[in-house]
Amino acid sequence: MNINREWITAGYSTAAVPERVDLLSEIARLKKEKNAIIMAHYYQINDIQNIADFVGDSLALAQQAAKTNADIILLAGVYFMGETAKILCPDKKVLVPDLNAGCSLADSCPADDFFEFKKKYPNHIVVTYVNTTAEVKALSDIVVTSTNAVGIINSIPKDQPILFGPDRNLGNYLKSLTGRDMVIWDGACHVHEQFSIERIVALKKENPDAKIIAHPECKKPLLVLADFIGSTSALLKYTIESEDKKFIVATESGILHQMIKASPEKTFIPAPPSDAACGCNDCEFMKLNTLKKVYLALKHEFPEVSVDEELRLKALKPIEKMLDISSLLKL
């Protein structure tokens, strides 16, 4: 493929797409022609979720990547998810729609700084959240997601101290649930940090029959207020199985699409951020991906994710350990 210098600078293909092009049919054609699969995170825009072959949270995406027979994986999410897919599938071409779709949580934990932090605790097992760079994963003993973190931490011998990173809110939540001796890196997700307790309390007063459900990356005061706390997939499952009909949802607003599809008779209210001008909390990085960028990425096979082989092998070990424990514990 001829890669335009402008694309490299932009971080995605800027090629023009004629108005007559039907993006949906062209994406379907390219997938079939190239034996490609589109995997999308729950926080993607509705259009991308609708055309994806698989939609899931970080754990499900990693599990799906590990077993796909596709030659090309297009990962519509943020960059570390594409990296994780490439680490698991070195023989496959992994594409992302936009290299600028980063992660504030991953950015809050630079690998060099984390290396120095780790050196202070030589007797600790290093458990890191999947929302990290390949370099940080390579410094880890086990990787976890919000879906499997409690089960994996409980599987570690009780006398083994733990270093957890990078999300302080998730780390403190796990510490409170498991009672484990944990040193926690001071990082956070900008989306889950921005929810307004005051506005959520006001929403609850207006909707007293609504259940507040929250992701464990949220701050402690919100978690104390919540009726249910869980990973993105756990929140979705809870709304499907619950007899309640109304929910205030404290996580990135993209998940509401799947909630509404699964339970159209129920009401889902996005928990508001502190910014009074906005009614919902979107991840600006997740929302960089568009249908047009998905089409161009498949057409030109750019941007492609690459991971140095030595780094990949180091990062692979803690990811495989996560997948093995998750499988064993049926997480």
The fraction of the chain above a pLDDT of 70, given in percent, is 98
C-alpha distances (whole Å) from 90 to each of 82, 108, 289, 305 are: 11, 27, 23, 10
User: pLDDT class for 276, splitting at 50, 70, 90?
Assistant: low
CA 148 to chain centre: 13
Enter the tokens of residue 325.
Answer: 């424990």
Q: Domains for the chain: give ranges and CATH numbers.
A: 5-101+286-308 (3.40.50.10800), 105-188+313-329 (3.40.50.10800), 195-270 (3.40.50.10800)
**pLDDT tier, 1 (very low <50, low <70, confident <90, very high otherwise):** low
Decide: 83 and 306 in contact? Cβ < 8 Å.
no
Taking residues 266-275, report their average pLDDT: 93
Q: What is the mean pLDDT of the chain?
A: 95
Omega cis (within 30) before 166: yes
Give pLDDT, residue 277: 65
Q: In what order do the strands lie in the sheet with 246-250?
A: 228-229, 211-214, 246-250, 267-270
CA separation for the pair 239, 229 (Å, rounded): 12
pLDDT value, residue 27: 98
What pLDDT, in 10s, does the model give residues 216-253?
A: 999 999 999 999 999 999 999 999 999 999 999 999 99
pLDDT in the model for residue 55: 96
Q: What is the CA radius of gyration of the chain?
A: 20
pLDDT tens profile 130-184: 999 999 999 999 999 999 999 999 999 999 999 999 999 999 999 999 999 999 9
**Residue 63 pLDDT > 90:** no
Residue range 74-90: mean pLDDT, rounded: 95
Q: What is the pLDDT of residues 35-51, one digit of tens each?
A: 999 999 999 999 999 99
281 has a pLDDT exceeding 90: no
